[in-house]
Amino acid sequence: MSRILIDETDYLINCSLLKNHSFSGVTFSLKNYYGVINNPNCTNMHNNYCMPGLLELAAIPPIRNKLALNICEAIYGIRSGGPMGYPQISPNSMIFSRDPVALDRVALQFLVDNGLAQSSVTRAKYIQAASGDPYNLGISDPAKIDLLSHECTPLSVEKKPASIRAPKVFHLEQNYPNPFNNKTIIGFTLFRDSHVNLSVYNIKGEKKATLVDRNMPAGHHRTIWEAGLNAESSGTYIVQLCGKNDRQIKKIQLLK
C-alpha cells in the first residue's frame, strides 16, 4: 500500500498474524505497518529492535487518524522461527481491538503463555514505549486493558484442531531481509525427515558457505548467513537447498 492510497482511504483495518519476529521480538499490529512503506527491509527500520522507526511510522497522521480496527488472527501461532515458519501452537482465537498497543500487549501474552522465549519479549520493548510520550499510541498496561472473551463454534469448522499437520512440501523460502547488508535469515520446509544441504554460491558457481549439511526432521527450519563475517562483496548470490530427491534455489542480494 502506498502513501497515496492511505491518503485516499477513509478508514484503515490492520490485520496481522500471531508470530514472533527475529528483529522486533513479535509482529502484530504495530509491526504490521511495515507493509505500507516501500522498503521495510532497510537497515534503519530494523536497527535497535525496530525503534524508533516502528513507532514513528505508526504515529504518522494518515495511520493514526484513520485506524478503525486491529485484528490479529490467532487461530495458529508461531512462538519460534517467525516471521517465517510453520505454526507450533493453536490458540484457536481471534483478537480484536481499536487500540493497536493493547492488542499487541494481549497478543504478546498469548505467545508468552505458549512458550515464547524471553529474548523475544525483550526485543518487543516497543510495545511499552508506544504507550508513552511522545507517541501515546495506546495502552500497554494489562491492568488497564479490558479483555472480553466470547466463545463461538462456527458451523462446519472444528472447534479445536486435533493437531497441527506436518508440511507436505519441500520448499526454500526467500531470505529475509532481501536485499541485506550483513546477515539474512533463510528458511526452508521439509515434508519428511531427510539429509539436507543448504549452501550459498556466488554467480560464478563458487561455494561461499555451507549453512546446513546434516539429517533434519520434517517441519520448518531456518538459519542465518552472516556474510559480513566473511567480508563477502556486494552482489547477487545463489542459495541452494538439496534433499534426497529435491533441489531448489533462490537468488539473494547483498548490499554494503
Q: What is the mean pLDDT of residues 202-230?
A: 88
Q: What's the pLDDT band for 166 if we cut at 50, 70, 90?
A: low
Dump strand ranges (E) for the chain. Answer: 12-21, 25-27, 67-78, 93-97, 171-172, 183-190, 194-202, 207-216, 219-226, 235-242, 247-254
Strand positions, DSSP E, 36-88: 67-78
Tell me how far apart the alpha carbons of residues 2 and 250 are, in angstroms, rounded to a whole number.
Answer: 27
d(CA 50, CA 62): 20
What's the pLDDT tens digit per position in 111-164? 999 899 999 999 999 999 999 999 999 999 988 998 887 766 555 444 444 454
Q: 3.30.70.1380, 1.10.357.10, 3.30.70.100, 2.60.40.2360: which CATH number matches 171-254? A: 2.60.40.2360
Q: Which residues pair with 136 in a beta bridge?
A: none
Where are the domains positioned within the chain? 3-144, 171-254
Q: What is the pLDDT of residue 5?
A: 57
Q: How many CA atoms lie within 13 A of 256 on its CB side?
A: 13
What are 3's three cell numbers?
Answer: 502513501
Its pTM surpasses 0.85: no
25: Cα within 13 Å, side-chain hemisphere: 26
